[in-house]
Amino acid sequence: MKLINLLMVLVLSVACSATVFSQDIQFNNPLAEKRADPWVQKAEDGTYYLIATVPEYDKIVLRKSKTINGLKEAEEKVIWEKHKKGVMGHHIWAPELHYIDGVWYIYFAAGEAENIWNIRMWVLSNRSKNPMKGEWKEEGQIKTDMDSFSLDATTFEHNNKRYMIWAQNVGGGEHGTALVLSEMASPTELTGPEVVITQPEFSWERMKYNVNEGPAVIKRNGKIFVSYSASATNHNYCLGLLWIDEAADILDASNWHKSAGPVFYTNEDLKRYGPGHNSFTTSEDGKTDIMIYHARDYKEIIGHELSDPNRATRARVLKWTPSGFPDFMQNEGD
């Protein structure tokens, strides 16, 4: 992997006027209290669907609205609940909603009722046009070459092929989670090879825990960008960035570039702590890129960070630098 310092990108960003990078779309943040790892899917008819982790880690909920701000007051529906025993019985984490070839899919992570940290990736499907209706079918586990702790699956298309990126413990023990990429044989099956495109190596990725997780893909300006989250889910949580030229072989890890520093992280002046696990969508007119993410508005956490329920879903405009890179506007509020 090529490690590229973002200094020049950041210099170009700072050099641009504040007017150009001001947030001209306002959001009524937080969009959803106590909703972490948020994923917003914009359907073909313009409807927005919000799916996220609930603090009880016991179910999957969904809400919809014709506007992003409307998600705040939208009625929420429980569409699936954890098993009482066995697999999919605990730690229901980070669901993502995708519409693929006329079928809705939800990718999520789950542990076992009797072994709560034996976390793997699972899939639900629904053939209803409206994912709030119809029946959600359990499609089973996303099987990986290495049978180990794995979560945070996301999927995207490139050159008429479908790919998945997910987080997995690939070294065992204290190695933590890396991001792995594979082509898919279908929306429920990988075909390989499975390629590690980043693993925790910098200090900001290794605060308390060694973590690369929560990948989200956005394709712009001849590149594929992947944001991801790093470190423990307290105030140290932050976003890093990967990118690759669209024309390059994306299954060759050496073609991927990685930011040497975090691109979005705690800003105490703005009372934004531990921002991370984002997704991307567009504004109602389709002209502006929007980042959906979670954060807390306080630093000190009583007990373990995963027991604190107050990661809230937020939205903000994503701007772009003249060099074609995403500008996460670290020093601007929501």
Distance CA 226, CA 236 (A): 20
User: What's the rounded mean pLDDT across residues 312-325?
Assistant: 97
The model's pLDDT over 11-57, given as tens digits with 9 standing for 90+, comes to: 334 433 333 344 579 999 999 999 999 999 999 999 999 999 999 99
The pLDDT-based confidence of 172 (bands split at 50, 70, 90) is confident
The model's pLDDT over 222-242, given as tens digits with 9 standing for 90+, comes to: 999 999 999 999 999 999 999
Own/partner pairs for 57-64, CB < 8 Å, 24+ apart? 57/82, 57/90, 57/91, 57/92, 57/93, 58/82, 58/92, 59/92, 60/92, 60/95, 60/106, 60/108, 60/124, 62/97, 62/131, 62/132, 63/32, 64/131, 64/132
DSSP code per residue over 257-315: EEESS-SB--BGGGTBEEEEEEEEEE-TTS-SEEEEEEEES-S--SS-GGG----EEEE
* Domains of the chain as residue ranges with CATH: 2-327 (2.115.10.20)
Mean pLDDT of the chain: 93
**pLDDT tops 60 at residue 2:** no
User: What's the rounded mean pLDDT across residues 193-214?
Assistant: 98
Check residue 24 and give its pLDDT: 77
User: What's the rounded mean pLDDT across residues 309-330?
Assistant: 97
197: part of which helix (H) or strand (E)? strand 195-198
Check residue 12 and give its pLDDT: 37
Would you put residue 97 in left (φ > 0), alpha (ψ -120 to 50) or beta? Answer: beta
The model's pLDDT over 151-170, given as tens digits with 9 standing for 90+, comes to: 999 999 999 999 999 999 99
Query: Do residues 231 and 239 make contact, with C-beta atoms less than 8 angstroms apart?
Result: no
The pLDDT-based confidence of 322 (bands split at 50, 70, 90) is very high
3-class DSSP assignment, residue 220: strand
> Global pTM?
0.93
* Helix, strand, coil % in the chain, rounded to nearest 5: 10, 50, 45
Considering the chain, what percentage of its residues have pLDDT values greater than 90?
91
The pLDDT-based confidence of 288 (bands split at 50, 70, 90) is very high
* Secondary structure letter of residue 248 according to DSSP: S
Check residue 117 and give its pLDDT: 97
What are the residue numbers of the active site?
A: 37, 213
Tokens 């879903």, residue? 313
The pLDDT-based confidence of 174 (bands split at 50, 70, 90) is confident
Q: Which residues are CB-contacts of 71 (< 8 A; sequence separation ≥ 6)? A: 31, 32, 40, 48, 50, 63, 64, 65
3-class DSSP assignment, residue 7: helix
Distance CA 16, CA 196 (A): 35
Query: Do residues 331 and 21 make contact, with C-beta atoms less than 8 angstroms apart?
Result: no
**pLDDT tops 60 at residue 66:** yes
The model's pLDDT over 133-147, given as tens digits with 9 standing for 90+, comes to: 999 999 999 999 999
